[in-house]
Structure 1
Amino acid sequence: MIEIICNGEDDSNKGNMRGNADIRRPKNIKQIGDVSSNRKIYIEDYAFTYINSVAYQTPEDEQAGVLLGEVQKSDEEKCLFIKGVIRAKTPENETKQGIVFNEKIWEKIYAEIEKFFPDLEVVGWFAAMPGITQERFLYLKKLHMDNFSGGMKTMYLVNTCDKEENFYLYENGELKKQKGYVCFYERNYEMQEYMLERRERKPIESPEKDKVMKSIRSIIQEKEEMRQRRKNSVFLYGISSFMAVVVLVIGINLLNSYEKMKKFDTSLSNIALEISNISEKEKSIQTSDNSVSVNKISGDVYPTEAETESTESRTTRSQTEQSQTEKQAESAEMVKEADAAQTTYIVKKGDTIMSICKKYYGNTEKLNEIIAVNNIEDADKLYIGQEIKLP
């Protein structure tokens, strides 16, 4: 039985799925089988898909790895959340002996946990093999008891021959197969980064699961796109408001300058007209007296007031132009400083948004800000040579 619950909980299943408020449950989930037990197993989609990709990539080989996550408890139930997977590989200088967990393998596992999943703990393991006999299952039980003892430590067993996949929990001295589990979906950057480092891709899902998975992922993608569009609209609104204020200020300054230049042109025209009148009067006097008048100008042609107004206009215009020049220089300097403060990064092979953020800031606090500044629609897709702006 498969029950799908997206972006919330089913009211008819509140008693089984919601539980105590102390347990933080994911919203986007897919329930597989019966999970009415008071001990529940949740596994994140990237971790689940990675396990199956390892198991079915070479189905004739035996594979194993460690499951990472956390255990949350309430008065009524216990929930195990699996969020990461580390594949256990036999060192190259040793002969492959099937599934083993020796000291060298554990050293390598703990090193990769520290590198990729420092906030998670070991909550179980997985094993994949072609066919499982009773003798082989007893060996797996011994491995579980020796390396993963504890009531909420799980074993995920994949039979690559019969294509059977089941979770087991240790109860009353036996590994008991669980009736169901819950697959949940979230932005698991740590698991994505580990998969990129391993260069191992997700397999093609079976036709039965593909339709369900696509439906759930499309809902999640639509929500992400809506959230991103809201962020972009707020950002564009802020930019538009700022540009409107800048244009308004520039327009006011240009209008003031135009009025002052108009007054200045009027003053120059008046002066030119007065000079023209003076010349005409001089010619008239020179003709009537039949002589050349030297420095003889009628008393009514000295444009004292006009010249004074012209001088004041020129002074005012000079001050205005100087102020405008200073403002433009200040604006240019601010733009240069803003450009200088903006750091860019060229994407290289193997880079992710999270790895770039960790590299430059030491943490992932500015992850969403980097996505918003660069208008990145899908944070999982970067291209080699792409320029990333770092605020």
Structure 2
Amino acid sequence: MIEMIYKEEENKSEANDNQEITLRIPKNIRQIGIIHGSRKIYVEDYVITYLQQFSMRQAPKQQVIILLGRTQWLEDKQYFFISGAINAQSVKVDMDEIAFSEECWMRIYGQMKKYFDRLEIVGWFLSSFENPLYINDAIIYAHVNNFPGNDKVFMMLDPQEREDAFYHYENGQLIKESGYYIYYEKNREMQEYIIQHREETTDQIRTEVEDEATRQFREMMQAKKEKQQEKHTMHFLYGASTVMVLVFMLIGITMINNYDKMLNMESSITTLSDLVNGNVENTQIETQDTTLNQIPVESVDGKIERQNVISSEEAQKEEVQKSNKEKDNDTEETKSQKNQVKNAEEKYVDNREKRPKEQKSDEKKAKETIAQKEGQYHVVSKGETLETISIRYYGSPNMVKDICNANKINNSDQIFPGQKIFIPQK
């Protein structure tokens, strides 16, 4: 606890020597509400924790707790430092009366002597469940008769709504304070009292009464752990999504290639069919034209004279010669048609043989493109580790496992300079 010391000199009429008044104010504090007025109330953190937990366990039953500490005046301001609390179990509490018996006070003073021998009574506390933060006549009567004077305070807490408030007595009424301070220090007396009066196990007691710094550190570590788990989950989902996209791209490329091949094959078959059918028809037309052109036609000038009839032998010879010529022409035309069909078939077979090679080349290019998108290669330099490489490419050492999986490395510590490793895309 860091202390601030204020000094004041009394009048010489009251004392011959200068008297030093010391006021120690904790610096590690937390403000509740708005603080103004002549009263400053400081409550130690273990006391607040005890009051809150005690009220929750006893709800809806109302319970009274005696507040212990010290009070000081400085420059017309009154300071309350509350660092202890004792459970007043035997106090009778109902709507019409709050009764403190002599037996109850004897037990309270006995507890004070055992646990808080250096503190004094500075007020009292009441847990309110049915009528939260409502001051009735029974509360005012109990305060005036058992805690008289201006140096006593009253605190009320509603465990259900988590609301609390301090009050001071003035002009026959309990006036609500606008706020107070919570301060933090090693309060071993209060810790010992809590441990002795808890019904839970020792482990639960230590957990509940641990200091504020330890609790905040554990909460911070838990939040950090949850954040890391969420980050790992996001990385996994991102990687899975990337793989799915690449798979769909590969399937799409394959389907497009297959579709193009089907179209090319259909076009080739259609072209081959049209070529064969067109050549046969053209050949038939050319044959007919050739036959018609071979019919002899004679033109005669002048008068038409009667000629001698050609003998039957000569006529037969002419018919045989014509027939032979026609057969020769048919043979040449048939050979030409066969050669064209053969050339078309060879061209179709060559196209079929070339297409798988082109398909493999396209698939290889697609795979290389996808591989380039998935990551890159890195040559290990002297002094580098997988953790430093992970930090260099990803900004975090958490990708070491992914790099090992991508390169089939069993031990993350066994890499050597000059080794070429694959860095997958994050």
Which TM-score applies when normalising by structure 2?
0.42
Higher RCO by CA contacts (8 Å cutoff, separation 6 or greater): 1
User: Could you tell me the TM-score, scaled by structure 1's length?
Assistant: 0.45
**Structure (1 or 2) with the larger CA radius of gyration:** 2
